[in-house]
Chain A
Amino acid sequence: MKILVCISNVPDTTSKINFTGDGKSFDKNGVQFVINPWDEYALTRAIELKEAKGGTVTVLNVGEADAEANIRKALAIGADDAIRVNAFPKDALFVAQQIAAVAKENNYDLILMGKESIDFNGSQVHGMVGELLGIPSIFPAFKLDLLDDATARLEREIEGGKEVLEVKLPFVASAQQPMSEPRIPNMRGIMTARTKPLKVVEPIGGEPKTEYTNFSKPEKKSGVRMIDAENAGELISLLRNEAKVL
């Protein structure tokens, strides 16, 4: 079983988000980057499947050299090797084209990633990769088991419920909680990760179809209005008459 896990290098959830003076790009200054939390569910599930059934887990990142710290972290958690496509991830389609190119060369049985990244929140790459490769893409999956070498059973979330699917390999699945319990790398993992292969490849062409022209931040809230607990019922009339949401 060959599993490919695509990871994104994203600002930590607790980061203050700032943009460059012209508002055109994200300001990385002082920001701690992490493996996209959704991708961690995919990564740990891939490692669990490998531990149970054998095989390899390859981690793929489309990004610049500063992503390598988190690629090494993925190796420390338990992936076997890694590929970095050396490019600024211009947009979802561009990233999907890079992933599809790597996948075409290596014939993975399973391609996993998070349901979205916490920076661009696009939820686009999984479907685009599936379509580019002509294989199913299951979004968003919170349970993934292998029934045999050729078939998987997945549960995906739909509005108000879930669907159970049986899908022939290969396919793309995008993970969400509670697909697995993300792991913290241990010392042995960190040591072995240093010598695991990390291959850097150059991007194929690939044209973005979107252009980010400006970033802005939401207006600050005007501040909280406190209501005395003794007169808690007053909240309801404020919500109706002032906020007009009831």
Chain B
Amino acid sequence: MSVLVLVEGFNGEVKKSSLEAATYGSQVAKALGTDAIAVAIGEVQEAALAALGAQGISKVLFDDDVRLHNFVAEAYLKVIAQAASQENAKVIIFSNTNIGAALGSRLAVRLNGSLATNVTELPVISGDSFTVKRSVFSGKAFADVNLTGDIKIVAVKKNSIAVNSDAGSNATVEKFSAGLSDADFAVAPKETVMQETGGGVLLPEAEIVVSGGRGLKGPENWHLVEDLAKALGAATACSKPVSDLDWRPHHEHVGQTGITISPNLYIAIGISGAIQHLAGVNSSKVIVVINKDPEAPFFKAADYGIVGDAFEIIPKLIEAANALDK
């Protein structure tokens, strides 16, 4: 038996979320006394795959079919299912990305396995039970879930597991073909459009996020958010009213009905902190709130707060950030 980790490539590299999944998978493998094997998908270089040895992966199966550079659910499922069967995988680890969520649910049915998504901690394994902790109620609670199926599939919440990077041996990269037919690519994207990223960092993968609300008064002031993000190496985000007003695109909207993020640092500027907004950001490790209203409810959920005028405060923060040793 083995532990299988799904690794997603992006622009030749392995996504950070997949490094987290690989770290998680190798820890589970260690607990079970077996090997962690990865199956790689997407546009990624072999050297980046070999480097997964640093996360404890012993072998990487790689299907370099160019048709797999785009996400095609059926084709990806066949690749993973075949890798799982070849390696007799009893545990399969994903990152809780959009791809991971789209695949995990189908794979659980196909392999007759158990699935837990949004998982925040390593499993507790004892005898037959395999229990993971997952985030529920939009970050307001945790649930312990025992996965009772023979095959256990775990989708790890982004930024929940610190990436392990032991300098050491490389993983072996093994060519692998799932023998895909044209029919497996029937539901393929016609077109893929990547977003412009304000600070140059993708929001769902970001460790630091600078977010603006209506308190910034208009889209013409967004350079402040972007400049602070640039100084901190952060991604930019916004509140729902800001995306509703079209000051910023919808894909930057974090909150209950936008995207949910869990960065190490979330800086909210001019956002009052409605509960719908908190639902999207409350698992951030450190929250900074900057607001001119000392009664803004967001301060109750914050670790650090500054009451004052954002237009005066942000330039001071940019100056201090630029003065840091990088």
Contact = CB atoms under 8 A, between A and B. Distances in A.
Interface stretch (A46-54, A66-74, A132-140, A183-191): A132-140
Contacts of B177: none
Contacts of A226: 304-307
B142 A178 contact: no
Contacts, number: 253
Interface in A15-42: 17, 19, 37-38, 41
15 contacts: A118-B138, A121-B134, A123-B96, A124-B115, A126-B105, A177-B257, A209-B108, A215-B144, A218-B142, A224-B289, A235-B320, A236-B320, A240-B324, A243-B303, A246-B208
Contacts of B283: 218
Interface stretch (B20-28, B32-40, B51-59, B192-200): B192-200
Interface of A: 11, 13-14, 17, 19, 37-38, 41, 92-93, 96, 118-128, 130-132, 136-140, 142, 156-167, 176-178, 208-218, 221, 224-229, 232-240, 243, 245-246
A128 B112 CA distance: 11
A43 to B, nearest CB: 14
B30 interface: no
**Most chain A beta-carbon neighbours within 10 Å: one of B73, B197, B304:** B304
A233 B228 CA distance: 12
Contacts of A211: 145-146, 148
Contact of B190 (A11, A38, A165, A239): A165
Given A245-B265, A246-B324, A137 B304 contact: no
Given A14-B275, A121-B137, A238-B304, A245 B110 contact: no
Interface in B209-232: 232
Nearest to B205: A159
B270 interface: no
Nearest to A238: B304
Contact of A243 (B73, B117, B192, B265): B265
Interface stretch (B60-68, B83-91, B165-173, B294-302): B294-302
B141 A217 contact: yes
Contacts of B319: 233
B37 to A, nearest CB: 23
B131 interface: yes
Contacts of A120: 136, 143
B105 A233 contact: no
Contacts of B149: 209
A216 B131 CA distance: 14
B309 interface: yes
Interface in B1-60: 10, 15, 17
A121 B118 contact: yes
Interface size bucket, B side?
Answer: 35 or more
Contact of B202 (A13, A159, A216): A159
B312 interface: yes
B190 A166 contact: yes
Nearest to A243: B286
A238 B131 CA distance: 37
Given A221-B301, A233-B317, A246 B115 contact: no
**Most chain A beta-carbon neighbours within 10 Å: one of B189, B205, B208:** B189
A131 B256 CA distance: 27
A210 B146 contact: yes
A93 B110 CA distance: 12
B75 interface: no
B318 to A, nearest CB: 9
B102 A139 contact: yes
A159 B319 CA distance: 31
Interface in B106-137: 106, 108-110, 113-118, 131, 134-137
The 8 A-B residue pairs whose C-beta atoms are closest, nearest first, are A127-B105, A229-B308, A233-B320, A163-B189, A236-B320, A161-B194, A131-B109, A209-B114
B82 interface: no
B147 A232 contact: no
Contacts of B306: 226-229, 232, 235
B140 interface: yes
Given A139-B98, A210-B148, A216 B70 contact: no
Contacts of B143: 120, 212, 214-216
Contact of B102 (A17, A137, A215, A227): A137
Contacts of B180: none
